Amino acid sequence: MTQVVAVLDFGSQYTQVIARRIRECKVYSRIYPYNTTAGQLKKDGVQGIILSGGPSSVFAEDAPIPDKKIFNIGVPVLGVCYGIQLMGFLLRGKVEKSEQREYGHGILNIYKKGRLLRGLKKQIRVWNSHGDKLIRLPLGFKSLASTENSSFAIIEDAKKNYYGLQFHPEVYHTEQGMKIIQNFLYRICRCRGDWSMADYVIRSITAIRETVGDKRVILGLSGGVDSSVAAVLIHEQFPHLLINKYTRGNCACQPDN
């Protein structure tokens, strides 16, 4: 069975990058809406959960807030940027608006190493993009690292496998960011790292074959990434597609059978 790590999307420009970095570690990632229920995640058998960053503040009236029960389904949780603020806000820590928005490079000083920080240097450059910050830890958490503007740049509750990062490990600008992601996946979530894109393509084509059977297929192809990938996968199963209609660059396709 394929192991899945869920990425809850809070509107970050980097959500897709997080999902890609996980897959680069040979672990399958799936992006979920931020309000996906804990019951659904548990039903899907996710191996871990990552809370993405996002442009909102936890203090905003329309702030995206996840199902708090995600902390009770027994899998590791990693909060990134807005995600760490959500953890503080939901788990009874304290978050406040920063006097100055922190954007760009910062210096991270690591003073305690656990499973998340295994193999990292004591000081690295990281990429920040946030306007709020955690100022009091939830019960059971401890701080592992700080930056110039945050005493709680990395936090952990090792007993419950909850972790938070004030910066973005998924972007190129953060040194050893992939090492942090790998540690979360392999050392904390216990992922096997046996997933590959080739396997995913084969499974997707098989699923299309089983779903379609002897029926016809209609494909709306806009030229965007999602519809183009769908077209390629469908073409693998139905190599003789007839394009029978164009409408402003879109086409309806069906197998020539």
Alpha carbon distance, N-terminus to C-terminus of the chain? 34
Higher local confidence (pLDDT), 55 or 247 = 55
Active site residue 168: yes
Kindly name the residue from 170, 189, 191, 251 that is annotated as catalytic.
170
As a CATH number, domain 4-188 is 3.40.50.880
Kindly name the residue from 102, 130, 156, 168 that is annotated as catalytic.
168
Tens of pLDDT, residues 158-167: 999 999 999 9
Q: What is the pLDDT of residue 109?
A: 96
Q: What is the pLDDT of residue 256?
A: 43
Predicted confidence band of residue 125 (pLDDT cuts 50, 70, 90): very high
Contacts of 130 (CB under 8 A, 6+ apart): 53, 81, 82, 85, 98, 101, 102, 103, 166
Q: What is the pLDDT of residue 251?
A: 47
Give the rounded distance of the alpha carbon of 164 from its chain centre.
Answer: 13
At residue 249, does pLDDT exceed 70?
A: no
Q: What is the pLDDT of residue 246?
A: 45
Predicted confidence band of residue 255 (pLDDT cuts 50, 70, 90): very low
Kindly name the residue from 25, 81, 189, 253 that is annotated as catalytic.
81
Tens of pLDDT, residues 179-221: 999 999 999 999 999 998 777 677 777 777 778 777 777 777 7
- Of all residues in the chain, the percent with pLDDT exceeding 90 is 58
Q: What is the pLDDT of residue 36?
A: 97
Active site residue 253: no
Would you kindly state where each structural domain of the chain is located, as residue ranges? 4-188, 197-255
Active site residue 170: yes
Tens of pLDDT, residues 24-71: 999 999 999 999 999 999 999 999 999 999 888 888 889 999 999 999
Residues forming beta bridges with residue 136, ordered by sequence position: 94
Tens of pLDDT, residues 77-122: 999 999 999 999 999 999 887 666 666 788 999 999 889 999 999 9
Q: What is the pLDDT of residue 22?
A: 97
